[in-house]
């Protein structure tokens, strides 16, 4: 309601207007439903996760969503930064829910091992779920270096997979 009211009061009439482009919109393509935001296009996950939450959409939430969708479209991770309690994790979870994608929130600590993270990464890669690593900065530096290599390997696999789809390899 608030978004529709804002678009009306600001006389947004063209689909090229940034105020329209910055909204998360859904379109039916020939084979999928896609969510579009700014220049990003993400396939709807078709995972029913319940009724969307009543998250208050603020300018910060909008920027967070635009950053996340843009990063995912480019096969990158996203690391929203800000003070504790500003809704970074909730914004990520709500965006995943809106895109029909399961989101696992993993609270990191000093006890996180490479084996634990490998298990998490294998699960999300097999299911297509999102992994939200809360308190990521608490992981020991030795473990972080291995995790960085694992993330690089996943990104490489995603990039190769999307190149194969563009070439028609399925």
- Give the per-residue pLDDT at 89: 87
pLDDT tens digit at each of 170 positions of the chain: 778 888 899 998 998 899 889 989 999 999 899 999 999 999 998 887 777 666 677 778 888 899 999 999 988 888 888 788 888 888 888 899 889 999 999 998 999 999 999 999 999 888 889 999 888 888 999 999 999 899 899 888 888 877 666 555 54
φ, ψ for residue 150 (rounded to 5)?
-65, -40
> Could you tell me the two tokens for 51?
């009724």
- End-to-end CA distance of the chain: give it in Å, rounded: 40
Do strands 103-107 and 130-134 pair parallel, antiparallel, or not at all (unpaired)?
parallel
Model pLDDT, residue 40:
93
Are the CB atoms for 15 and 69 separated by under 8 Å? no
Instruction: Write down the pLDDT at residue 163.
Output: 67
What confidence score (pLDDT) does residue 36 get? 94
Name the token pair of 130: 């999102």
Rounded to whole angstroms, what are the CA distances from 127 to 53, 104, 122, 131? 23, 11, 9, 11
Q: Taking the model in full, what pTM does it have?
A: 0.83
Predicted local confidence at residue 54, as pLDDT: 65
Answer for the pair 49, 61: CB distance below 8 angstroms, yes or no.
no
């Amino acid at each position: 309601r608030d978004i529709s009211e804002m678009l009306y009061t600001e006389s947004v009439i063209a689909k090229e207007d940034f105020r329209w482009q910055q909204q998360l919109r859904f379109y039916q393509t020939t084979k999928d439903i896609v969510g579009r935001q700014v220049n990003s296009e993400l396939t709807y996950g078709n995972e029913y996760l319940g009724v969307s939450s009543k998250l208050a959409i603020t300018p910060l939430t909008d920027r967070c969503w635009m950053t996340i969708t843009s990063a995912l479209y480019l096969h990158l991770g996203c690391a929203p930064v800000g003070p504790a309690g500003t809704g970074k994790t909730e914004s990520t979870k709500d965006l995943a829910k809106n895109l029909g994608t399961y989101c696992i929130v993993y609270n990191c600590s000093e006890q996180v091992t490479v084996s634990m993270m490998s298990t998490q990464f294998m699960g999300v890669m097999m299911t297509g779920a999102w992994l939200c690593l809360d308190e990521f900065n608490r992981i020991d530096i030795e473990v972080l270096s291995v995790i960085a290599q694992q993330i690089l390997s996943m990104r490489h696999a995603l990039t190769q997979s999307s190149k194969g789809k563009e070439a028609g390899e399925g």
